[in-house]
């Protein structure tokens, strides 16, 4: 086993479910992770009994998973900690199609692109599940059983069990039928493919539970119904809620941009800041879903939010735990150190260069020549509206370069470079910008 794999197993070993709950079902309910499910009483009994095999699927429609997927990964991990056996499915075949979006047809990616994304997502899924012990996780790819299947066999053996009237009633399908775009047969058939996945995993591994987002409920039940018709067996599905903020906006979205778990797409600094900026009304629910804190510990943070919200202790704990979970403790500590240094509570020159650069990229910033004056850089970054305002701010003692007060606004930014050719501009106590020197 590689050093990184050993390190990951050590991190996973530190995770535990909350022993104050009677069983994992009760904990999932308390954490708000059950929005819809098949028979609740049967599920509770099933999960409290002997180990079962369960799965969750992830389609490679992008190069990385995002926070919505993280909900599924942590739900899978909690079930594994309860002794059950996870199958992490990365959809090499369903990723070539994509599940129906509410308003428009997906762009079909090339087979080569999808294959590359499959590998990336498999690597990501692997970091959240343990591949050791009696209930070790397995990775599976639905391309393995769909690629050899002919169109005739697919229609005869699988398609005959689906009724078009039922398929049309699925939320994702009906939404598209009522849109201007309509829906292609390609995306219409997605629910059949996902149903086939559950059937194959039932046959190969005895899998009896699938989890997914509640917006996938139609696809989840396609599998439970197919297994009932073909095998005469009742299996189960869990739909987790779509996480939204208290104002109703979709969680993890900012101006249409997802929060990715790949550091190359969302830097650890931006990731940490996202959690740090969680609203007081949302932070307790986020602690329940995204951390392994016990309900007593979360109850204490809930008290602090009510009594001392200005300290933002709950947000800082949330930001630390989730960033460490996704990017590791070392990267998280580097982010915190850089954040503090930006506001004068540390040595900027001693910060990790990549972390500091990521932080400055998240701020208003400009790329300029070393000879550019500080006054001009203030204008270029938007910290002031004009050169006269910039010079006035300097003369009033309100401008800082790398946390040192600026005495001469006509001095060059190149005279105060940090490693990597960066400069931190600050106006007043809190207004920051970055300068990158070519």
253 labelled as ligand-binding? yes
b/e per residue 277-289 (b: at least 16 CB within 10 A): ebeeebbbbbbbb
Q: Which CATH number fits domain 244-352: 1.10.240.10, 3.30.300.30, 1.10.1060.10, 3.40.50.2300?
A: 1.10.240.10
Q: What whole-number distance in Å separates Cα of residue 221 and Cα of residue 238?
A: 10
Check residue 1 and give its pLDDT.
47
Q: Judge residue 207's burial from the number of C-beta atoms within 10 Å of its C-beta, 0-12 exposed, 13-18 middle, 19 or more buried.
A: buried
Q: Do 244-352 and 363-438 have matching folds? A: no
Q: Which of 81, 77, 80, 109 is nearest to 96 (CA)?
A: 109
Q: What is the CATH number of domain 363-438?
A: 3.10.290.10
Q: List the end-to-end C-alpha distance of the chain, in Å, as a whole number.
A: 43
CB atoms within 10 A of CB 115: 16
288 labelled as ligand-binding? no
Q: Which of 210, 246, 240 is nearest to 226 (CA)?
A: 210
Check residue 370 and give its pLDDT.
95
CB 168 within 8 A of CB 218: no
CB 227 within 8 A of CB 72: no
Q: Which CATH number fits domain 3-242: 1.10.260.40, 2.60.40.10, 3.40.50.620, 3.40.50.300?
A: 3.40.50.620
Q: What whole-number distance in Å separates Cα of residue 132 and Cα of residue 150?
A: 36
Residue ranges of domains in the chain:
3-242, 244-352, 363-438
Check residue 2 and give its pLDDT.
46
Per-block average pLDDT, block size 10, for the chain (438 residues)? Answer: 61 93 97 97 97 97 94 98 98 86 80 96 97 96 94 90 85 79 84 94 98 92 95 97 84 74 94 96 97 98 97 98 96 94 88 93 95 96 96 95 94 93 93 94
54 labelled as ligand-binding? no
190 labelled as ligand-binding? yes
Check residue 206 and give its pLDDT.
98
Question: What is the three-class DSSP state of 427?
Answer: strand
Check residue 253 and give its pLDDT.
64
């Amino acid at each position: 086993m590689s050093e990184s794999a050993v390190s990951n197993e050590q991190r996973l070993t530190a995770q535990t479910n909350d022993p104050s709950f009677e069983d994992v079902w009760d904990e999932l309910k308390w954490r708000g992770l059950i929005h819809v499910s098949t028979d609740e009483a049967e599920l509770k009994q099933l999960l409290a009994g002997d180990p079962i095999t369960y799965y969750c699927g992830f389609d490679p429609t992008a190069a990385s998973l995002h926070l919505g997927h993280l909900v599924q990964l942590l739900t899978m991990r909690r079930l594994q900690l309860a002794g059950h056996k996870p199958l992490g499915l990365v959809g090499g075949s369903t990723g070539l199609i994509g599940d129906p979006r509410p308003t428009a047809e997906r762009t079909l990616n090339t087979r080569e692109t999808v294959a590359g994304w499959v590998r990336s997502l498999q690597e990501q899924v692997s970091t959240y599940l343990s591949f050791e012990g009696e209930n070790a996780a397995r990775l599976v790819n639905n391309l393995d059983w769909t690629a050899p299947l002919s169109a005739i066999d697919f229609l005869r053996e699988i398609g005959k069990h689906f009724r078009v009237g039922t398929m049309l009633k699925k939320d994702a399908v009906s939404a598209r039928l009522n849109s201007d775009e309509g829906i292609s047969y390609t995306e219409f058939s997605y629910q059949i493919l996902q149903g086939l996945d559950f059937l194959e995993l039932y046959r190969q591994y005895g899998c009896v539970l699938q989890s997914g987002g509640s917006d996938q409920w139609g696809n989840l039940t396609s599998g439970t119904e197919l297994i009932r018709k073909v095998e005469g067996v009742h299996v189960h599905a869990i739909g987790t809620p779509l996480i939204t903020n208290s104002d109703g906006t979709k969680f993890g979205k900012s101006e249409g941009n997802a929060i990715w778990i790949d550091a190359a797409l969302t830097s650890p600094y931006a990731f940490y800041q996202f959690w740090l900026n969680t609203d007081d009304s949302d932070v307790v629910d986020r602690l329940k879903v995204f951390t392994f804190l016990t309900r007593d510990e979360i109850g204490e943070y809930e008290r602090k939010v009510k009594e001392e919200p200005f300290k933002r202790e709950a947000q800082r704990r949330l930001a630390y735990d989730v960033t460490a979970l996704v990017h590791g403790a070392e990267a998280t500590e580097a982010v915190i150190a850089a954040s503090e240094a930006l506001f004068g509570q540390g040595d900027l020159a001693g910060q990790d260069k990549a972390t500091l650069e990521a932080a400055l990229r998240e701020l208003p910033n400009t790329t300029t020549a070393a000879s550019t004056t500080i006054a001009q850089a203030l204008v270029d970054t938007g910290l002031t509206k004009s050169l006269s305002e910039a010079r006035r701010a300097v003369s009033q003692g309100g401008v800082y370069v790398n946390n040192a007060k600026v005495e001469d606004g006509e001095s060059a930014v190149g005279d105060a470079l940090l490693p990597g050719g960066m400069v931190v501009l600050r106006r007043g106590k809190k207004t920051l910008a970055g300068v990158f020197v070519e």
